[in-house]
Amino acid sequence: MDLTVEIDPGSGFCGGVIRAIRQAEAYLGAPDAGPLWSLGPIVHNEEEQRRLRAQGLREADASALEPGAALPAGATLLIRAHGEPPRTYRLAAERGYTLIDCTCPVVLKLQRQIQEAYARLRGRGGRIVIFGKTGHAEILGLVGQVGGDALVVEDAAMLEAAFARGELRPDVPVELFSQTTKDPQEYRALAALLRSRLADPALLAVHDTVCGQVANRHAALAGFAAAHDAVVFVAGRASSNGRVLCALCRSVNPRTWQVSAPEEIDPGWFRDGDRVGVCGATSTPKWLLERTAARIATL
Q: Rounded CA gap, 35 and 19, in Å?
A: 19
Which residues have CB under 8 Å from 224's CB, separation 6+?
Answer: 8, 10, 231, 249, 277, 279
Q: Decide: 292 and 6 in contact? Cβ < 8 Å.
A: no
Told to judge if 138 belongs to the known catalytic residues of this protein, a careful annotator would answer yes
DSSP string, 203-266: GEEE---S-HHHHHHHHHHHHHHHTSSEEEEE--TT-HHHHHHHHHHHHH-S-EEEESSGGG--
**CA-wise closest residue to 244 among 221, 277, 224:** 221
Q: Rounded CA gap, 24 and 52, in Å?
A: 9
Question: Of 138, 160, 175, 186, which is the active-site residue?
Answer: 138
**Residue 178, class by beta-carbon neighbours within 10 Å (0-12 exposed, 13-18 middle, 19+ buried)?**
buried
- Which residue numbers are catalytic? 138
